Structure 1
Amino acid sequence: MEETPHPLELARRAAGLTMDGLVDRIRDAATRRGLRSGIDTARVRKWHRGTRPNDESQVYIAEALAGLRT
Structure 2
Amino acid sequence: MKKSNVKKMKLYNKALQFYCKQLEKALDKACEELEKCEKDFDKIYGTSYAKIKNKKYWKKELMEDD
TM-score past 0.5 threshold:
no
Q: Could you say which structure has the larger radius of gyration? A: 2
Query: Which structure is richer in relative contact order (CA contacts within 8 A, separation 6 or more)?
Result: 1
The structure that is helix-richer by fraction is 2
TM-score of the superposed pair, with normalisation by structure 1? 0.36
